[in-house]
Structure 1
Amino acid sequence: MRAIREVHSREVRAPAETVGALLDRLGRGEDDPLFPTPAWPPMRFDRPLGVGADGGHAFVRYRVSAYEPGRRVRFDFTAGQAGWHEFGVRPVGPDSCRVEHVLESRPSPVVALTWLLGIRLVHGAVVEEAFDNIERAATGRPLTPARRSARVRLLSRLLWDRPRAVPLPATARLAHDAFPRTDFQDAWQMELRPGMPQEPEAWQGVLGRSGFPVLGRTQDEILLGEDARHLDFRASVQVADGRVTLGTVVRIHRTTGRLYFAVVRRFHPFLARAMLRRCHRRLALAAPSAGEREAARA
């Protein structure tokens, strides 16, 4: 299979030492000023950045194989994929430098096909937005910010994280205490990306424009719901331990309620997942970028 080689570079009007210090903070979660979160999945490792650190971003897995602090870091692909990618910084003058990202890979036919169909576009968008963050953090603003094409926006939507089913957390006390008895409960959960809001009030719109009243709140949980003649329901949104959880509890009153919920129950998991995923994406795309957060801290 023919090798893939992709090179992105940009001149930044800041000293190489300044940009190199930003590069050294790759993969530090909330303290990473470079990787474009929360619009894209974060780069995470099992230890501080250094040779041997294992991790990746989204479904791409790699291990740090070379690291020169302030200058470059190379990642070797793992999980059966041959190749590497590398960020580097080199001085151009006393007050400017060139940042570069190089990817080389010899993919399998399946990986090569996915690269051609769209991963190449996503990769380019992530790298260019990382360069934007470098400029924002080092100079205050990028001279020419990257723009996502319609295809990149579509791919972002299709590849966005998906909620997973979990037990209703024991710490979601408002949901557990909502009714003396419960006829149904479930919960769906997603990981928060660095830079996403941690206050449950920010997630109040997870149910869309339903207008359900807020019936209770704590430091990490907000409870919405409504009572009806046939059944009562509560929706709990809890933000804790780097995750957001949408839980539902239902109390049924009579036979008509059981018949009604027998139908609704078939569609509820799909709707709950869709609402949480849509809200997660909306809040992530509206949040400040890593470079903006770093510039604000500075």
Structure 2
Amino acid sequence: MKVTNVHTRRIHQPKEKVSKLFKTLATTNDLIWPYENWPAIKFLEGLNVGSKGGHGSIRYTIIEFNEDDYIKFQFSRPEGFMGTHEFKIEALNENQTEIRHEINIQTTFETSLLWIFVIRWLHDALIEDAFNKVENYFTEAKKKATYNFWVKLLREIYKRKPLQTKIA
């Protein structure tokens, strides 16, 4: 199955300010990833092309990186996820920036079911939390996600059976 999943958010800040936040991804001072509520994103060799890492049981390798514009990852796990995902930062004008996360994968039958019933729901909630974190960095009024029943149920199941967090 071909899967394309896109999230965008308009941030009312210049691209230079938003790019500074993205440089903290997977660091001890991560201002992007919602590690407060989700498994942290980690890379063996930092934010560099070729560095392997991931979050929870999802694994990938950085295949392209321009610290001011985008970072692109190639999936390695789960098996059956063949493709990429990426974060992009684009100036819309002097004071507005669009942040974007896009998945483009081909899945096997088994991983199609995993995507449809589990991963997509958790992924969408995680990315919206990350985008809230970026937006909240710049605003007084803080956005907070409310999860639907299915996301709450899946999160509860994974609390009882923790996701793999070792990077290999």
TM-score by length of 2: 0.89
| Cα offsets for 1:83-134 (capped at 9, x unmatched) | 1100011011111111000001111111110111121111100000000000
Give CA deviations for 1:258-279 in whole Å, capped at 9, x if unaligned: xxxxxxxxxxxxxxxxxxxxxx
Specify the SS of the correspondent of 1:151: helix
Per the alignment, residue 67 of structure 2 pairs with 69
Q: Which residue of 2 aligns with 1:158?
A: 157
1:129 corresponds to which residue? 129
Distance in 1, matches of 2:52 and 2:138, equals 27
Percent identity of equivalent pairs = 27
Paired amino acid for 2:22: L
3-state SS in 2 of match to 1:77: strand
- Within 5 Å, give how 1:28-177 maps onto structure 2: 28=27, 30-79=28-77, 80=79, 81-142=81-142, 145-160=144-159, 162=161
Is contact 1:63-1:76 (8 Å) kept? yes
Match of 1:19 in 2: 18
- Once the two structures are TM-superposed, the CA of residue 38 in structure 1 deviates from its matched residue by 2.1
Deviations 1:176-235 (A, max 9, x none): xxxxxxxxxxxxxxx8xxxxxxxxxxxxxxxxxxxxxxxxxxxxxxxxxxxxxxxxxxxx
Which residues of structure 1 form unaligned runs of 5+? 164-190, 192-298
- TM-fit CA distance, 1:140: 4.0
CA distance in 2, matches of 1:139, 1:145: 12
CA distance in 2, matches of 1:141, 1:57: 28
How far has the Cα of 1:78 moved from its partner? 1.1
Letter in 1 for 2:73: F
- Equivalent residues, number: 161
Higher helix share: 1
Give the equivalent residue in structure 1 for 2:3. 4
What SS does the corresponding residue of 1:82 show, helix, strand or coil? strand
Q: Distance in 2 between matches of 1:121 and 1:11?
A: 22
Question: Matched residues in 1 for 2:161 and 2:113: separation?
Answer: 23
Q: Distance in 2 between matches of 1:161 and 1:40?
A: 14
Distance 2:88 2:126 in 1: 16
**Match for residue 282 of structure 1?**
none
Kept in 2: contact 1:14–1:97 (CA 8 A): yes
Q: Report deviation, 1:139.
A: 3.1
Supply the distance in 1 between the matched residues of 2:117 and 2:73 (Cα, whole angstroms): 24
CA contact under 8 A between 1:8 and 1:102: conserved in structure 2?
Answer: yes
CA RMSD after TM alignment: 1.7
Which of these two proteins has the greater Rg computed from alpha carbons?
1
- After superposition, the Cα gap between the structure-2 partners of 1:161 and 1:35, relative to the gap in structure 1 and judged at 3 Å, is farther
Residues 42 and 58 of structure 1 are in contact (CA less than 8 Å); yes or no, is this contact kept in structure 2? yes
Deviation at 1:146, TM superposition (A): 2.9
**In 1, Cα distance between equivalents of 2:160 and 2:37:** 11
Tell me the CA shift for residue 161 of structure 1: 6.3
Which residue number corresponds to residue 215 of structure 1?
A: none
Measure, in 2, the Cα distance between the counterparts of 1:161 and 1:18. Answer: 39
Q: CA deviation at 1:47?
A: 1.4
| Deviation at residue 25 of structure 1 after TM alignment | 1.2
| Inter-partner Cα distance in structure 1 for 2:93 and 2:121 | 31
Higher RCO (CA < 8 A, seq sep 6+): 2
Amino acid at match of 1:123: H
